[in-house]
Amino acid sequence: MTQKNLLEDRVVIVTGGGRGLGRSHCLELAAHGATVVVNDIGVSLDGGQADDGPAQEVVDTIRGAGGTAMLGPGSASDWDAMGDVVATTVSTFGRLDAIVNNAGILRDSVIVNLTEQDWDAVLDVHLKGTFTLTRHACAHWRSAHKSGQPVRGRIVNTTSGAGLAGNVGQSAYSAAKAGIIALTQVTAMEGARYGVTANAISPIAATRMTASAGLGTEVSEGWSPLDPENASPVVAWLCSEQSGWFTGQVLRIDGNELIAMEPWRTGRSFVAQSGERLDAAEIDLGMRQALGAFPGGLAALGSPAVSR
């Protein structure tokens, strides 16, 4: 299969498509033949200073290379705007085949310093923004399915290591990214009945967000393990018809390694000695033993000893 054939005739909406990962995704999708609708209001990292210039530049770049692209205006978290983007995409190109939810902002702070406004802003863009476009796209696909049209819808969401394991100073961001994983799983369950898959990527890449966390944005010449472009081939495959067997998953992208993450699973346990309900008095010892620690310390877990 040639590069152009993978996504030929498929139409994809990408939020946060003006910079970083989103920009790379848009260019990769277009290189594989997709028509790309670029959504990005061009805000600063904390959500201010809107400017659609970056999104327009991506559209112009795709068109300049012989591809097809257009702007999809509005904030990803704006219910009506995302409904309009879906409707306009379908009316303009006659179809919608995939969406890539990538828009996001950061307002990092430890919990005791985090404001309600900052918490709401981060969840609004990341979690609500992912839900809003997903909901409108799924409504379109379900309607198409009911009318007898073949549907091969693809949803690609964006989570992160913070969503998988948390990170100090990123309670809002981590909560939003963890919520996106749960939303992805539910969307996969519900979308299966009308031909829609949903997956999430967790890229390790040098972006504005990593720079704000003090992790740098250095990308070496040639191929670099931190180049945002490393995640984009995965997005292209997830948006293709080829990936129709694959849904409800999180893929971690670390340089040139693609890792299928395992979901929460049953861990170690202990059973109440009485054979009936648990007794609060036995839980401390029971959990220490279940986790490989014993009375007198938690050395087996690599923690300082706890005297009793």
3-state DSSP of the chain? CCCHHHHCCCEEEEECCCCHHHHHHHHHHHHCCCEEEEECCCCCCCCCCCCCHHHHHHHHHHHHCCCCEEECCCCCCCHHHHHHHHHHHHHHHCCCCEEEECCCCCCCECHHHCCHHHHHHHHHHHHHHHHHHHHHHHHHHHHHHHCCCCCCEEEEEECCHHHHHCCCCEHHHHHHHHHHHHHHHHHHHHHHHHCEEEEEEEECCCCHHHHHCCCCCCCCCCCCCCCHHHHHHHHHHHCCHHHHHCCCCEEEEECCEEEECCCCCCCCCCCCCCCCCCCHHHHHHHHHHHCCCECCECHHHCCCCCCC
CB 38 within 8 A of CB 71: yes
Digitized pLDDT (tens) for each residue of the chain, 308 residues in all: 456 799 999 999 999 999 999 999 999 999 999 999 999 998 656 545 556 789 999 999 999 999 999 999 999 999 999 999 999 999 999 999 999 999 999 999 999 999 999 999 999 999 999 999 999 999 999 999 999 999 999 999 999 999 999 999 999 999 999 999 999 999 999 999 999 999 999 999 885 445 444 444 555 567 899 999 999 999 999 999 999 999 999 999 999 999 999 988 899 999 999 999 999 999 999 999 898 886 544 444 444 433 32
Angle, CA 79 vertex, CA 194 and CA 26 arms, to 5° = 70
Prediction pTM value: 0.88
CATH 3.40.50.720 for domain 4-260: yes
Q: Which residues are catalytic?
A: 173
**Domain residue ranges of the chain, discontinuous segments joined by +:** 4-260, 267-308
Cα separation values, 33 from 148, 235, 239, Å: 26, 13, 12
**How many CB atoms are located within 10 Å of the residue 257 CB?**
10
